[in-house]
Amino acid sequence: MKSLLRRASLKTGLTLAALALAGGSWAQSFPQRPVTLMVPYPAGGVSDVIARTVNTVLGKHLGQPVVVENLGGVSGAIAAQKTLSAPADGYLLFQGSPNELILSPLANAAVKFKSEDFRLLQMISVAPLAVIARADLPVSNGDELAAYAARMAREGRPLTYASVGPGSFYHFMGEHMSHTLGVPMTHVPYKGAAPAFTDLMGGQVDIFITVFGKAQLEMAQQGRLKFVATLSEERLEGLKQVPTLRESRALKDFSYKIWTGYFVRKDTPEPVVQVLYKALTATLSDPAVRAGLEAQSQQVSRPLSLQEAAQAYTDGTAQFRALAKTIQLQPQ
């Protein structure tokens, strides 16, 4: 018996040693080819701009090019599912947020993955949100928006709001606003922010509760769309003339923001995770990356440890699942 135990112990020790050596070798060899950065929306939106601000510097830290791939549809769930269908080898990095990975599975019955199928490696930025409207919408603050929505509902022409698809964060915000105001509003889904803004400027949809960047600020300056209010706690630098919803009576508790981070499949080997995490953290500290993100109205995140990132993702999942219950959202 003792002999058998010694042999078993020796075998286990050799196995663990082999795994450790393999892990070390894996970490030293990864990556050996270009890494794909999956963006779950079409080119031209804020998410795409973030990726193209990050990818070149990230590639320098990884020692291999980082190629951006855009794949829109189903509130980002198509790109998320493609990430899960690829090997868990670190060569497909997903740029995501609560929008695609937490909310989409709650609202869309066709989405079969769970938030827990992904692992957050690092946050990159936190984005303020605003209610952006067609240029001729006759409102300029939260209370006027509430009154207009109520009048349109009484007339049988509910206020329309854009999103990047059913179950998206922006869909949640629209449904939450409708629930808060107690008036019906009509959801108009798009495959991404770029086509949503095109229709907003064309007057085909009334409002879009969304993140924004330099392009949208320029469109507002040109009179092509209108910033009605922000969802921030205080007025934003560079948008001091735009009130917050917290300043209104009807929507005084309507304050939200959304973050963007980088994910891999949860079963990605730890040595690969460590390589990606180190490169992402270094990228986050790069002055050019920070300046590029700030130019898009992004608030650059402080670097998180892997443990902090895991906790932030867990907390975010719990928060939005609770919100889904509050607005009685049912998968469709």
Q: Answer yes or no: do 144 and 247 share one domain.
A: yes
Residues forming beta bridges with residue 13, ordered by sequence position: none
Residue 294 within a domain: yes
Q: Answer yes or no: do 112 and 204 share one domain.
A: no
Query: Consecutive sets of 10 residues in the chain, 332 residues long: mean pLDDT of each?
Result: 42 44 59 97 88 97 98 89 97 94 86 95 93 98 98 98 86 92 95 91 97 90 97 90 96 91 98 98 96 89 95 92 80 74
pLDDT at residue 15, as a whole number: 42
Strands 185-189 and 159-163: parallel
Note the helical H segments in 135-268. Answer: 142-154, 169-181, 193-201, 214-221
pLDDT at residue 12, as a whole number: 41
pLDDT at residue 128, as a whole number: 87
pTM for this predicted structure: 0.75
pLDDT at residue 10, as a whole number: 47
CA-nearest of 30, 26, 29, 35 to 93 is 35
CATH of the domain at 178: 3.40.190.10
Residue 8 within a domain: no
Q: Answer yes or no: do 41 and 101 share one domain.
A: yes
Q: Answer yes or no: do 118 and 221 share one domain.
A: no
Which of 257, 291, 316 delimits the end of a domain?
A: 257
Q: Answer yes or no: do 193 and 270 share one domain.
A: no
Q: Which residues contact 128 (CB under 8 A, 6 or more apart)?
A: 211, 212, 230, 231, 232, 236, 257, 297, 299
Which of 257, 275, 290 delimits the end of a domain?
A: 257
Q: Answer yes or no: do 120 and 51 share one domain.
A: yes
Q: Answer yes or no: do 55 and 105 share one domain.
A: yes
Which of 257, 282, 298 delimits the end of a domain?
A: 257
Q: Answer yes or no: do 100 and 195 share one domain.
A: no
CA-nearest of 184, 181, 170 to 143 is 181
Which residue range is the domain that position 133 belongs to?
128-257
pLDDT at residue 247, as a whole number: 97
Residue 19 within a domain: no
CA distance 140 to 146: 11
CA distance 249 to 240: 19
pLDDT at residue 234, as a whole number: 92
CA distance 83 to 261: 14
